[in-house]
Amino acid sequence: MRIEGCGALVTGGASGLGAAVARMLAGAGARVTILDRDGAAAESLAADTGARAAAGDVTSEADVARALDRAAEGGEAPRIAVNCAGIAPPAKIVGRDGPHPLETFEQVLAVNLTGTFNVMRLAAERILALDPLEGGVRGAIVNTASVAAYEGQVGQAAYAASKGGVVSMTLPAAREFARSGLRVNAIAPGLFRTPMLAGLPEEARASLGAQVPFPARLGEPEEFAAAVRFCLESDYLNGEVIRLDGALRMQPR
C-alpha cells in the first residue's frame, strides 16, 4: 500500500509516539489529521507538518466522527488509521491507601482499549466504503499495544489489561476485514523515550535503557514510526502484533 496521497488519522498524535507517526506520514506524502485531547499541541504540530488538527477524546463517538470528517475534507475518507492515544497511571491492586480505585481502572480501559476499538470501528466503516486500490487493498489500521500485555509489572494491572485487549482483538479484526482488503496490525513497544518517561531523571532513564539486551537504550519515537510504516506498506502483514523492544522481557518491578 502506498502511503503517498492517502488520508491518515493519527490519535494521540500531538506528542510522543503519535507525533513521530504524524511526522513520518506527512513526510511520506499522506494527508494527515491529528486527533488529540490537547488541541493546542495538535494545532502546533499540524502547522509544523502541514497536517490538520482535531481536538477530541478517542472515547467519544462524536469526537472521532468529527475528526474523520475533518480528515475527509477536500478528498476521500482516510485509508489509514493509527491509534497511539493512551494513558498509564500506575497503581497496585491493593496499595497503601487500599484497593485499586475502580474508576482509575475503568478510565485506563476506556482510553486504551475502548478508545482504540472506537476509532477502529468508525474508521473501518468509512474505509470499507471506499473503492479498492491496486491488489484489492482498501486501507490499513495500526493499533498500539505494549510489552506490558505480556509481562505487566507490579502496578500495571490496569495498563496491562488494556493493552492485552488490544493484542487480543488484532486477529479477529483482521479476519473480519480481510475479504474487504482492510488490514489490521498492532505494535507492542517496550521502553521508549516518550512523555510518559520524561518526568524521570536522566539517570533513571539511562538505567531503564540499560535493561534492554540490544541496543541497550530507550527506543526512539522515530523507530516506532518506522515500524508503523512497515505495517502500512507491507501488504502481506496482517493480523500480527510486532514486539518492538530490543529483546526486552520486563521484570516484575
User: Over the stretch 95-117, which tens digit does the pLDDT of each residue have?
Assistant: 999 999 999 999 999 999 999 99
Q: Please give the angle made by the CA atoms of 44, 23 and 33, to the nearest 5 degrees.
A: 65
Q: What does the alpha-carbon distance between residue 42 and residue 195 come to, in Å, rounded to a whole number? A: 15
pLDDT of residue 223: 98
Using 50 as the pLDDT threshold, list the residues of the chain that sit under it: none
pLDDT number for residue 72: 97
pLDDT attached to residue 199: 64
Partnered with residue 10 across adjacent β-strands are: 34, 82
- At residue 182, the 3 state secondary structure works out as strand
Query: What pLDDT is recorded for position 252?
Result: 87
Angstrom distance (rounded) from CA 53 to CA 67: 8
Residue ranges and CATH numbers for the domains of the chain are 7-193+221-242 (3.40.50.720)
pLDDT of residue 245: 96
| Share of residues in the chain with pLDDT > 70 (%) | 99
Give the model's pLDDT for residue 206.
83
The label of the residue with cell 498492532 reads 186
CA distances from 220 to 14, 19, 153, 192, 227 (A): 16, 12, 22, 6, 11
* Structural Rg of the chain based on CA atoms: 18
* Residue 1 pLDDT: 95
Amino acid identity for residue 33 in this structure: T
C-alpha cell at 48: 509544523
How far is 153 from 165, CA to CA, in rounded Å? 16
- Active-site amino acid positions: 159
